[in-house]
Amino acid sequence: MVYILLIFGIIVGLYAIFNNIGGVFSAFQYQDETLVVGKFLQSLLPVIAGAIIVWISALNLYDMLKKK
């Protein structure tokens, strides 16, 4: 059961990264600097959270498979 949750964590993290990475690059098309910063952070924070979820899930999955 733990393996399924860790794989699900990797999938959710990758979804968060790929779903929001386009917004990071398209945020710079606006003229207003405040809007650029807001759109950039709105897209960057889920990308960072997704990367952390992938990293932790993959590391724990690797450790569990290594012990087995």
Per residue in 23-61, pLDDT (tens digit) is: 999 988 988 999 999 999 999 999 999 999 999 999 999
Task: Kindly report the three-state secondary structure assignment for every residue of the chain.
Answer: CHHHHHHHHHHHHHHHHHHHHHHHHHHHHCCCHHHHHHHHHHHHHHHHHHHHHHHHHHHHHHHHHHHC
Per residue in 2-26, pLDDT (tens digit) is: 999 999 999 999 999 999 999 999 9
